[in-house]
Chains A and B, each alone.
Chain A
Amino acid sequence: DTGVSQDPRHKITKRGQNVTFRCDPISEHNRLYWYRQTLGQGPEFLTYFQNEAQLEKSRLLSDRFSAERPKGSFSTLEIQRTEQGDSAMYLCASSLGQGVDEQYFGPGTRLTVT
Chain B
Amino acid sequence: QKEVEQNSGPLSVPEGAIASLNCTYSDRGSQSFFWYRQYSGKSPELIMFIYSNGDKEDGRFTAQLNKASQYVSLLIRDSQPSDSATYLCAAGTYKYIFGTGTRLKVLA
Residues in A lying within 8 Å of B, measured CB to CB? 31, 33, 35, 40-45, 48, 56, 89, 91, 97, 100-108
A-B interface contact total, Cβ < 8 Å: 50
Decide yes or no whether B32 CB sits under 8 A from chain A: yes
Question: Hey, which chain A residues are within 8 Å of B34, CB to CB?
Answer: 102-103
Given A102-B49, A104-B46 in contact, is the A45-B96 Cβ separation under 8 Å? yes
Given A56-B95, A101-B32, A102-B34 in contact, is the A40-B100 Cβ separation under 8 Å? yes
Q: Which of these binds chain A: B12-20, B37-45, B58-66, B73-81?
A: B37-45
B98 and A42 within 8 A (CB): yes
Decide yes or no whether B104 CB sits under 8 A from chain A: no
B44 and A105 within 8 A (CB): yes
C-alpha gap A40/B40 in the complex (Å)? 10
Question: Hey, which chain A residues are within 8 Å of B94, CB to CB?
Answer: 31, 48, 97, 101
Residue of A nearest to B6 (CB): A42
Residue of B nearest to A40 (CB): B100
Decide yes or no whether B106 CB sits under 8 A from chain A: no
Interface residues of B, CB < 8 Å — how many?
A: 22
C-alpha gap A104/B45 in the complex (Å)? 7
CB contacts under 8 Å to A, within B52-108, are 88, 90, 94-101
Residue of A nearest to B103 (CB): A40
Question: Hey, which chain A residues are within 8 Å of B21, CB to CB?
Answer: none
A45 and B97 within 8 A (CB): yes
Given A42-B98, A45-B95 in contact, is the A103-B46 Cβ separation under 8 Å? yes
C-alpha gap A56/B94 in the complex (Å)? 11
Distance (whole angstroms) from the CB of B7 to the closest CB of chain A: 13
The 6 closest A-B pairs by CB, nearest first: A42-B98, A105-B43, A108-B43, A43-B98, A105-B44, A100-B32
